[in-house]
Amino acid sequence: MKLHGWTVFLRNATIGTEHPDVTVRDCFGDRGSLTDLCPAHPDVRDYAVALARAVARLGVDSVVAESLHFRPLKPQRSFVPLGPMDAYLFALCFCDYCMRRATDLGVNAEVAREECARIVGGVFDGDPPAQGEVTRAALTAYAGPDVVAYARARSETVTTLVSEVASAVAGEGSKLVFIDSTGAVKGYTDGLPTPGLAAHDAWQLGVDLVALGDLVPAFGVLAYARDAARVADDVGAYLRSVGKDREVRAVLRPGYPDSDSTDRLVAKARGAKAAGALAVDFYAYGLVPHPVLDRIPAALSL
């Protein structure tokens, strides 16, 4: 059997609580997400490379990277209704390192920060929240070109970090499997993902799949959906982004809320493979009841 070392990189409450200076800083200058380490911070980048190397040295066949990118806002408690675009703007990091990187790429980072603070601050003060999903066009209309340019500049931060991590893992004789959270953002709660395919919206977390396709040997798609056709569409879009010769794995949930029967799970595994997935993984062993685990052999014997 192959042994894969699933590793959570930049979501770390222990480090963030002890060292708030390495966590993300919002447009108001607050560090309100101590769980989220900023991928632009040099210490965080050193940590990510060291962590990847440490896991690779355990002798695993691959290091599976979760949260090796900017993270979405997931408020545990919020008594102000935020639209998807408001939440997105509120989650953008404006720490010194992020702002410097954007400035180096020709973005007016301070204008972007002021715009975010004006819009999100307005919603906090009673403006109606934004309607509709985050798209480049909608974001441009809502927050202006400087904010969109700032958001897009984040991919350089992530691409260079993932490149360093992939090299470190390869240097230890293992390989990196990159997983971005977009599929989970879309479908985690109910298995009914928002319309845009994960590969098309990954840029929102600073993930440039086309660029990463040249740097990373393998990708995992979080296909958290009830519908087999949707799973196939997500896998297909991923392959078109990262390159047909890359290894793409589909991560399925065998039970609630995505799969209500063995047949449905089998249909999704079949759809993923037909769309070009090299393998299917299942999330998450320790949380799934035994009768649901019993569905997996059928999905593997296709």
Q: Which residues bind Zn ion (CB under 5 A)?
A: 38, 40, 93, 95, 98
Distance, CA of 259 to CA of 178 (rounded, Å)? 24
Q: Please identify, using beta-carbon distances, which residue of 97 and 238 lies nearer to Zn ion.
A: 97
**Are 231 and 271 in contact, with CB atoms under 8 Å apart?**
yes
User: Minimum CB separation from Zn ion for residue 180, in Å?
Assistant: 18
User: Minimum CB separation from Zn ion for residue 98, in Å?
Assistant: 3
Ramachandran region of residue 125, left (φ > 0), alpha (ψ -120 to 50) or beta?
Answer: alpha
User: Minimum CB separation from Zn ion for residue 26, in Å?
Assistant: 10
Q: 130: which residues sit within 8 A by CB, 6+ positions away?
A: 83, 84, 85, 86, 123, 142
User: Minimum CB separation from Zn ion for residue 69, in Å?
Assistant: 12
Q: Please identify, using beta-carbon distances, which residue of 40 and 250 lies nearer to Zn ion.
A: 40
- Provide the token pair at 229: 């056709």
User: Minimum CB separation from Zn ion for residue 40, in Å?
Assistant: 4
Q: Please identify, using beta-carbon distances, which residue of 31 and 270 lies nearer to Zn ion.
A: 31
Q: Please identify, using beta-carbon distances, which residue of 26 and 66 lies nearer to Zn ion.
A: 26
Q: Please identify, using beta-carbon distances, which residue of 56 and 92 lies nearer to Zn ion.
A: 92
Q: Please identify, using beta-carbon distances, which residue of 40 and 198 lies nearer to Zn ion.
A: 40
User: Minimum CB separation from Zn ion for residue 17, in Å?
Assistant: 17
Long-range contacts of 233-237 (CB under 8 A, 24+ apart): 233/197, 233/275, 234/183, 234/193, 234/197, 234/198, 234/199, 235/271, 235/272, 235/275, 235/276, 235/277, 236/275, 236/276, 237/197, 237/198, 237/199, 237/200
- Provide the token pair at 155: 């991919």
CA distances from 220 to 21, 178, 249 (A): 31, 6, 5
- Provide the token pair at 254: 């065998």
